[in-house]
Structure 1
Amino acid sequence: MRFAAAILSALALASCAAPEAPVVERVPAARSIDKPFDVTKNVDFILVDKSDRTLTLFREGRAVRTYRDLAFGDAPQGHKQFQGDERTPEGRYRIAYGNPQSSFHLSLKIDYPNAADRAYAKRFGRSPGGDIFIHGQPNGSPEGQKIAYDWTDGCIALSNAEIEELWQTVPDGTPIEIRP
């Protein structure tokens, strides 16, 4: 039991970084969470509210699904400014691509940093960081387990079942707004 907990802790501390992956066709996941949700129709906007710890999917201006109890970077308050600050970005971005070979159970790359993020970091002679994803739990985590505290390096973490739903219904290029 302690060995499994140690492995899980080590995985949880691992970076959100994943190798750049080519755009790939997404295939339906084998399972989903219990509440019915039509994953055959794409969403056109994602809203993340860090203070409420929610991620809401929209279609044609209407909220169609909300996920709760998100995990963020170890320093969840404030906008990501520099590599290693363990903050989750705030602002408007897009989903760049889905990464099926992630260190986590599926991941969707957020196109952070944008031009303003890069310019801000450059003024201080620092890197803005990158490799920000919406992702599931670390690969190898016990089935159905969800880490219940902020543990990423700036990513947005969901349960594996939740990221499977997003994987099926969030196309590349989808706008995402992350609010404080």
Structure 2
Amino acid sequence: MVISFGYGHRAATQAEGIELEKQAVVDRVEVKKSVRRMYLMDGDVVVREYRIALGKSPRGHKIQEGDNRTPEGKYYLDFVMDDSAFYRSMHISYPNLRDKNRAESLGVSPGGNIKIHGLKNGDRRAPQFVQSFDWTNGCIAITNEEMDELVSLVKIGTPIYIRW
């Protein structure tokens, strides 16, 4: 059985999933903001799929600090933080040069500190509830358990493509 996402990807079947865990190499992360999903990809195969929460104003590209938007474009996952206000986080290389130039032309700060992260430290609400709405300031949020899995599967330097 192959599950198609309609844009060239396929999900691993359950039988393939066991084998994928042993040999999968995540070569990129893809985020589809419009459906609140993040995919860990090995070629055209979806290794993992996560339900995500985004910035409070998710539509459109991040323009400036404080706009509560999650950026769109190609970035890199450049370092892991275990000591933030959230349960683990992986930093996204926003802003890139294009983002900085756009912000400068508008006379604003592009912002920064955009990450994939788990729940806020001390948050006792059910992860399923927290993932049911957009609540970040522009980051991408997944559950703590998913964050542990992400850090174990995705290497520093992996590209991330964020699209509407």
TM-score, with length taken from structure 1: 0.75
- The residue aligned with 2:44 is 61
Q: Write the distance in 1 (CA, Å) between the matches of 2:148 and 2:74.
A: 23
- The residue aligned with 1:20 is none
Higher strand share: 2
- Out of 79, 89, 98, the residue aligned to residue 80 of structure 2 is 98
- Out of 137, 144, 147, the residue aligned to residue 163 of structure 1 is 147
Q: Write the distance in 1 (CA, Å) between the matches of 2:146 and 2:75.
A: 20
Equivalent pairs: percent with the same residue?
43
Task: Give the deviation of 1:39 after TM superposition.
Answer: 7.6
Letter in 2 for 1:82: Q
Task: Give the deviation of 1:60 after TM superposition.
Answer: 3.3
Q: Which runs of 5+ in 2 are unaligned?
A: 1-16
RMSD over aligned CA atoms reads 1.9
**Given that residues 40 and 169 in structure 1 are in contact (C-alpha distance below 8 angstroms), is that contact kept between their aligned partners in structure 2?**
no
Q: Write the distance in 1 (CA, Å) between the matches of 2:33 and 2:127.
A: 21
Task: Give the deviation of 1:63 after TM superposition.
Answer: 1.5
**Given that residues 144 and 159 in structure 1 are in contact (C-alpha distance below 8 angstroms), is that contact kept between their aligned partners in structure 2?**
no
Q: Write the distance in 1 (CA, Å) between the matches of 2:22 and 2:124.
A: 25
Letter in 1 for 2:142: L
**Given that residues 24 and 47 in structure 2 are in contact (C-alpha distance below 8 angstroms), is that contact kept between their aligned partners in structure 1?**
no
Shift in CA distance, 144/167, structure 1 to aligned 2, threshold 3 Å: farther
Shift in CA distance, 134/52, structure 1 to aligned 2, threshold 3 Å: same
Q: Write the distance in 1 (CA, Å) between the matches of 2:115 and 2:24.
A: 22
Letter in 1 for 2:110: P
Q: Write the distance in 2 (CA, Å) between the matches of 1:143 and 1:38.
A: 30
Letter in 2 for 1:160: N
Higher helix share: 2
- The residue aligned with 1:175 is 159
TM-score, with length taken from structure 2: 0.82
**Given that residues 71 and 156 in structure 1 are in contact (C-alpha distance below 8 angstroms), is that contact kept between their aligned partners in structure 2?**
yes
- Out of 146, 149, 165, the residue aligned to residue 133 of structure 2 is 149
Corresponding residue SS for 1:76: coil
Task: Give the deviation of 1:61 after TM superposition.
Answer: 3.5
- The residue aligned with 1:6 is none
